[in-house]
Amino acid sequence: MAFFILTGLFVLLSVSQQARGQNYTFMREATHAPPVAYYDYIVIGGGTAGCPLAATLSRRYRVLVLERGGSPYDDDRVLNMAHFADVLSDTSASSPSQRFVSEEGVINSRPRVLGGGSCLNAGFFSRAGAGYVRAAGWDAREVLSAYRWVEDVVAFQPELGPWQAAVRRGLLETGVVPDNGFTYDHIPGTKVGGSIFDPEGRRHTAADLLRYSRPEGIDVLLRARVARILFSYKGTKPVARGVVYRDSQGIIHVAYLNQGDANEIILSAGALGSPQLLMLSGVGPADHLRSYGLDVVVDNSEVGQGMSDNPMNAIFVPSPSPVELSLIQVVGITRFGSYIEGASGSDWTTRTASTSTGTPERSFGMFSPQTGQLSTVPPKQRTPEAIARAVEAMSRVPDAAMRGGFILEKVLGPQSAGSLALRNLDPDDNPVVSFNYFAHPDDLRRCVAGIEEIERVIRSRAFARFAYPNFAFPAMLNVTAEFPVNLMRANVRGGSDPVALERFCRDTVMTIWHYHGGCQVGRVVDRDYRVLGIDALRVIDGSTFNASPGTNPQATVMMLGRYHSPLNLLPNFEQPPWIN
């Protein structure tokens, strides 16, 4: 039973809908690109930051976007929430989701699609807090303008069902106050946040922001895998001049910057891709680069440092009453440094006709023994006989056991940090990354406090309809601890004392896809996001964050692409006539 219940954390809801495509005239396969081309700006990575960045730059300049993945509009699974888990569990070379496992054994997903992480995540949309904006040195008025520019296209107000409403009331009853209603703002207390899924269940990604582009000012190349950045020198100082990339057939192309002091290459390849590409281009720790035979352009030992991921722990709460299918819609922003959220589903599995017998079979999404990312059958042992045994064991679990939801806690701004290093010279392979979850005792303290808050919510009067009476919370922890959520060995058994809860936090830690760092401000880039020691090269994405903003970073990453474009267009930006 424990094997597959956690599917519900990822398969958050199932909504029938038709994926809406975009027919961008400026988007094409990299195989159609010329061998050599020239642009004013080259953006490496058409992700959550890269799309709004490129759209803004295109209003005045010629911009090239190099995206290593394909189009989200060609993959119905990306835009259809019914196939949310299918994307995450697809480990093929063409999948929009590239699996990686941290050195601690926590399984994660790296986007490989135009629109980046906004094509894979659970859709929660919330701005950074005012204190975060001040600490970053951003202009609050222009930041708000950039958020609204994004929200006009991708953000929506969700409608709460009974289970989510009960979580909200439970948080308020247990003291996570005030009630802030629906808001994108980051305010302590309980609120309903935004979603990038519209009322019909369609996902709206950062790729949708490319509709703001001037079509004549932008080229978007798909399946363009950047190998390295090219440099020239001004005196002794390196200057970024171009990039080398391969198309899907392995053909090499080169894109150069046009002559001009303002022209730049901008890395927006994400918290894994940006530090990795800097290293592959000769920017990073000298000894590490030389060990791979790379020429050192700039010796900077801070490249790849400060890697953090907000640790998340979830508790499955079986329900005596039917519950709606829901995304994370409500968040409790506590004053002890933990966020409390929830996701529910009436049945975490689906039934499809067997390809061999035609009879209904249960599918468990990314936990399926056939294709599951976290299947208990190891990949090298997935013989037909082993898979058949796993399917048979799962089929015996009653449907009623699937009814319920998860309440999770996530540590705000973890103080634990790790590092990233090259694994090899293949830019498409995953680097070696460690997040050092719970290395700092304060992170562990906040996790324990979050778990204790979850228990109070489950026991609240407001949540009584969706929790069995007289439940044993330690037993609930034990069941949850059996889920195969990571590659660590779980040791949790009983008890809700601080020591047992600390062990629960360590043994059941998961990601919620909020990893950041590797090219941090003050360490790798300056406050204008220019790479230290190099001209004409910036990094604009989540790798620059010293802490994850708000309860969810995607709104701020999109905002950053708009706000920190090298252009100062924001105050007087006029919506182009081709935008409806």
Is 553 part of any known ligand binding site?
yes
Is 296 part of any known ligand binding site?
no
As a whole number, mean pLDDT of residues 477-498 equals 65
Q: What is the pLDDT of residues 490-532, one digit of tens each?
A: 555 555 666 789 999 998 898 889 999 999 999 999 999 999 9
Confidence tier at 195 by pLDDT (50, 70, 90): very high
Residue 331: which H helix or E strand, with range? Answer: strand 330-333
What's the rounded Cα separation, in Å, for the pair 93 and 112?
A: 10
What's the rounded Cα separation, in Å, for the pair 543 and 533?
A: 18
Cβ atoms 196, 154 nearer than 8 A: yes
Q: Report the catalytic residues.
A: 514
Confidence tier at 484 by pLDDT (50, 70, 90): low
Residue 425: Cβ within 10 Å count: 13
> Who wins on pLDDT, 200 or 577?
200
Res 18: pLDDT: 30
Q: What is the pLDDT of residues 461-472, one digit of tens each?
A: 999 999 988 778
Confidence tier at 172 by pLDDT (50, 70, 90): very high
* DSSP β-ladder status, 432-434 and 312-318: unpaired
Confidence tier at 90 by pLDDT (50, 70, 90): confident
Is 323 part of any known ligand binding site?
no
**Is the predicted pLDDT of residue 433 greater than 70, yes or no?**
yes
Confidence tier at 88 by pLDDT (50, 70, 90): confident
SS3 labels along 439-464? CCHHHHHHHHHHHHHHHHHHHCHHHH
Sheet of 264-267: strands edge to edge?
27-29, 218-222, 63-67, 41-44, 264-267, 537-539
What's the rounded Cα separation, in Å, for the pair 404 and 342?
A: 11
What's the rounded Cα separation, in Å, for the pair 554 and 289?
A: 31
Residues whose CB falls within 8 Å of the CB of residue 131, separated by 6 or more in sequence, listed in order: none
Res 115: pLDDT: 97
Confidence tier at 5 by pLDDT (50, 70, 90): very low
| Residue with tokens 């439940």, as numbered in its chain | 471
Q: What is the pLDDT of residues 14-31, one digit of tens each?
A: 322 233 457 899 999 999
What's the rounded Cα separation, in Å, for the pair 557 and 551?
A: 13
What's the rounded Cα separation, in Å, for the pair 451 and 334?
A: 12
Q: Which amino acid is at 285?
A: P
Is 32 part of any known ligand binding site?
no
For residue 14 the two structure tokens come to 């199932």
156 DSSP assignment: B
Res 385: pLDDT: 65
Res 152: pLDDT: 96
Helix 554-563 and helix 50-57, axial crossing angle in degrees, nearest 10:
20
Is 542 part of any known ligand binding site?
yes
Res 476: pLDDT: 74
* DSSP β-ladder status, 360-363 and 350-353: antiparallel
Average pLDDT in the chain: 85
Res 21: pLDDT: 53
Is 554 part of any known ligand binding site?
yes
Chain centroid offset of residue 383 CA: 32
Res 107: pLDDT: 86
Cβ atoms 540, 561 nearer than 8 A: yes
Q: Which amino acid is at 563?
A: Y
Q: What is the pLDDT of residues 106-127, one digit of tens each?
A: 888 999 999 999 999 989 999 9
As a whole number, mean pLDDT of residues 354-382 equals 46
Confidence tier at 372 by pLDDT (50, 70, 90): very low
419 DSSP assignment: E
Confidence tier at 209 by pLDDT (50, 70, 90): very high
Res 445: pLDDT: 95
Res 397: pLDDT: 52
For residue 124 the two structure tokens come to 């929660």
**Is the predicted pLDDT of residue 437 greater than 80, yes or no?**
yes
Q: What is the pLDDT of residues 395-416, one digit of tens each?
A: 555 555 567 888 999 999 899 9
Rg of the Cα atoms in the chain: 23
Cβ atoms 4, 349 nearer than 8 A: yes
DSSP secondary structure letters along 257-300? EPS-TT-EEEE-SHHHHHHHHHHHTTEE-HHHHHTTTPPPSEE-
**Is the predicted pLDDT of residue 574 greater than 90, yes or no?**
no
